[in-house]
Amino acid sequence: MNNKNFIIALLFFIGYWVVYLYKPFLLDIAVAALLSLATYNANQKILSLVKYKGLASFLSSFLLALIFFLPLIYMINSLILLLGHLEVSSIEKTVNYLKTFSLPSYFDFLDPYLERFLEGIDVKSITTNLIKFATFVGKESANFIKDMFLITIFYFFILYYDDELIDFFKSLIPEKNDKELFGEVSNVMSVVFYSIIITAMFEGALFAIIANIMGYNGILLGILYGFSSLIPFVGGAIMWVPLSAYELAKHNTANAIIIALYSIIVISIIADTFIKPLIIKYINTKLVDKPSNINELLIFFSIIAGLSTFGFWGMIFGPALTTFFISLVRLYKKIRNRRRRY
């Protein structure tokens, strides 16, 4: 065996054990790497202001925790407290009232569907599932907070050593195609990350306003609405439909109608349909070095696929894997065409 083959064999052998060694942290490292890729330009702007690499990396990590992770921790803690003081009587009252509620005459065609849906609702099963959910949240919240802490730490070190990491990956890419390969991925990740954060915060803030006016915990419901807005097709209806139903069960018909109309008109139609595309367009043209060449519809479906396959973090993995694959295909075609010329 010559020296080259020996080194390659040794590299694969040691590489396997390195992956095995860091297997519990691979997901956290991957998420941190993708987040650092998405926020690279923002970190560079912070670095140009503070001039110190360590301080810039710390500020970027702090902002990431402040914007992305702290609301999650607050939401988990609030949900545990809320579910711990859950009143079964409130659920029973709401369900029983809805079963006797009659829609206006011009909605008669919906009565069979509504009756069929309400007949399938079992208060005992709902209560049991909520208790199970509370137990699950309690057990998993510690692991989730641990993961978020590790992601923040890895994110800091990736930003701090980004020059060395970039040089290393450049040395692995043949024919100096690093910009073509990683440029598109970085741009798409930036568009996806910023659009997700900004639109979720925007729509969550809008729902927090109406929830606070109605006397609820606006911060908690706003955060929940922001995350539920990421779910395709259903979105914020997960939040405003139960809240409207609860107000209806308390005989606050006006409040129920206001919440429903506000959520549909202000958030779903005005904010989500008209303002959200403008936000994405602004991000794509102003906040990234080069506008993405990946179709927006493909990005949308890659987010759905990522959520279905990887869960919560899939909204980051889905677009990254899809874009990286497309970039590799384009790079392969370019190299093949270049070789044909010669």
Q: What per-residue confidence (pLDDT) applies to 305?
A: 78
pLDDT tens column, 174-195 = 555 555 556 666 677 777 777 7
Percent of the residues in the chain that have a pLDDT greater than 90, as a whole number: 5
Q: What per-residue confidence (pLDDT) applies to 208?
A: 92
3-state secondary structure 5-52: HHHHHHHHHHHHHHHHHCHHHHHHHHHHHHHHHHCHHHHHHHHHHHCC
| Integer angstrom CA distances of residue 176 from 40, 52, 126, 203 | 20, 29, 58, 42
pLDDT-based confidence at residue 85 (cuts at 50, 70, 90)? low
Overall residue count recorded for the chain in this entry: 342
pLDDT-based confidence at residue 206 (cuts at 50, 70, 90)? very high
Categorise residue 106: left if φ over 0, alpha if ψ from -120 to 50, beta otherwise: alpha
Domain boundaries, the chain: 1-86+136-172, 176-342
Residue 274: partners with Cβ closer than 8 Å, 6 or more residues away:
none
- Check whether 207 has a pLDDT greater than 90: yes
Q: What per-residue confidence (pLDDT) applies to 137?
A: 60
- Between CA 243 and CA 318, with CA 308 as vertex, the angle to 5 degrees is 115
pLDDT tens column, 259-299 = 989 998 998 888 877 887 777 777 767 666 565 555 656 66
Rounded CA separation 84/72 (Å)? 18
The amino acid that residue 51 corresponds to is K
pLDDT tens column, 118-167 = 666 666 666 666 666 666 666 666 777 788 888 889 999 888 888 777 67
| Integer angstrom CA distances of residue 98 from 65, 117, 124, 129, 256 | 41, 11, 16, 20, 13
- Check whether 211 has a pLDDT greater than 80: yes
Q: What is the mean pLDDT of the chain?
A: 75
Residue 155 · residue 38 · CB < 8 Å: no
Residue 296 · residue 303 · CB < 8 Å: no
pLDDT tens column, 323-333 = 777 777 776 67
Q: Which of 96-100, 103-107, 128-132, 253-257 is least confident?
A: 103-107
Q: How many CB atoms lie within 10 A of CB 219?
A: 17
Percent of the residues in the chain that have a pLDDT greater than 70, as a whole number: 66
Q: Based on the number of CB atoms within 10 Å of its own CB, is 126 exposed (0-12), middle (13-18) or buried (19 or more)?
A: middle
Residue 162: partners with Cβ closer than 8 Å, 6 or more residues away:
36, 40, 43
**pTM for this one?**
0.68
In terms of average pLDDT, the best of 88-92, 168-172, 280-284 is: 280-284
Stretch 83-106: mean pLDDT: 66
Residue 221 · residue 208 · CB < 8 Å: yes
pLDDT-based confidence at residue 321 (cuts at 50, 70, 90)? confident
pLDDT tens column, 9-35 = 777 778 788 778 878 888 888 888 888
